[in-house]
Structure formats: C-alpha cells, structure tokens
Amino acid sequence: MTLAKRIIPCLDVAGGRVVKGVNFKDLKDAGDPVELAKKYGLEGADELTFLDISASVEERETTLEIVRKTAEQVFIPLTVGGGIRSAENVNELLRAGADKISINTAAIARPDLINEISDRFGNQVLVLSVDARRAQTKSGFEVTTHGGRQSAGLDALAWIGDAILRGVGEILLNSMDADGTKSGFDIEMLSAVRKISSVPVIASGGAGKISDFAEALTAGADAVLAASVFHFGELRISDVKNDLAKRGFPIRA
C-alpha cells in the first residue's frame, strides 16, 4: 500500500501568537494559533505542526494551555515542538493532546534524550527537527540551533544518521537558507537526506508556489510543511492537494 503524501501547515508560535518571518527574522503576526489550527483542520490539512519558536531561546517549556486548546479544535495529528528537554516534558505534551513531539536544540545538547523518549513512548511519536544550512562540512550542510542563529558544529547528514539509529521516527528538515524566502524547497539538501534516511522526511523552508510542493515530493519528501503561504492566504491547501493529485501523487482527499 502506498502511503499518502502529507501537507502540513506549520504554526510558529511566539508570545502566544503565530508569527512568520524570513530566515527567522523580521517576524510578522499571522494570527491566533487555535483559530488557525481549526481553519487548517477544516481545509484538509493532513497534520499540523506547532513550534514554540521562542521556548528554547527563552529557556522555558512549551505553552501547555495553547497545545490543549489547539488539540481540542483539530482532529488530525498534532506535532508539538519547542523547549522540550525531558521525557517528562513529552509525557505532559502527549497528555495535553499532542500526537507527536519534535525535538531539536535539546537533542543536540544531550543526544541520549532521543533514546530516552523513543524507549519510553516509541519512535512513532518522535520527530527530529533539523535546521540545516550550507557550510564547509563533509556533506556540505551543517546543523544550526536557536532558530538558525547559532552553528551546532555538527554535519547535518552525520547528525541525522546518528539520530535515526538512536530512535527518531521522522525527520523534519528545515532549510535555513530557503526559510521564508518563497523561492522553493532546497532540493539538493532534501535529496542528500533522502538517500541516507530510513524514516520519513518532511521538507520545510521555501514554499512559494504550487509547483514547489510537487518538486519536494519528487525529490523524496514524504510530507511537505509550509507556513507563510498558507497563513497569508497566498495558497490554499485544497489547491495544493488538487495539483498534486493531478500529477499522480497519492493524496488524502
């Protein structure tokens, strides 16, 4: 059975509001997370990703109350990330209504966290979020932290390979070079990760026009994540899905 390709709106939340910028800078208010989540659920999104982008920078945990309210409004899988530092944080978020958990900065600081979460809850709940950019590393890509503000000193492909062995169930690959630019997904990076990944890969960063989604799926993405093009009404989820279906991709109606 061929698995349907997924379209995933991303809610980047800071200070209780959905925000979006370019390369994580010049953030603009895009609305209320609970209202947007409800809207995307009705419009046919396959999943939702909720990232508390200021949690790691401010060294605090993800806002449980917003997660709870969002989970009450949507009936599709909800992935939550930002400020998760322990298996207990994961437990709280799953109890608040999250279906999957995305980790980034904390896993880089302490890779054993991946093993702990995977061993306790199963790898199906664990998404590794990788904010990668071009750099002078073995693969040509490095990992960044703190919303792309700092280099983690890790080769992106080596890190992803290690994380898969430790038990992550999915890779959310965000191109920091393409993020918010609307110039298309980083196909070169995506293809390189696809070659080494035994788990599903979600492409993120750069969605601008409808054909960008098909390009990412052709390059090996199992799902495509986008934010500003949906938040500001430039593209509709139904139009993206119709285009992909016409091109022969398996899509959930």
Active site residues: 12, 131
Q: Distance between CA atoms of 250 and 134, rounded to whole angstroms? A: 31
Token couple for 213: 């989604």
**What percent helix, strand, coil does the chain show, rounded to 5?**
35, 30, 35
- The three-state secondary structure class of 204 is strand
Q: Distance between CA atoms of 200 and 74, rounded to whole angstroms? A: 23
Contact assessment for residue 226 and residue 207, using Cβ atoms and an 8 Å cutoff: yes
Look at the chain and count its residues.
253
Contact assessment for residue 235 and residue 18, using Cβ atoms and an 8 Å cutoff: no
DSSP letter, residue 100: E
Q: Distance between CA atoms of 79 and 101, rounded to whole angstroms? A: 5
- The three-state secondary structure class of 45 is coil
Residue type, 160: I
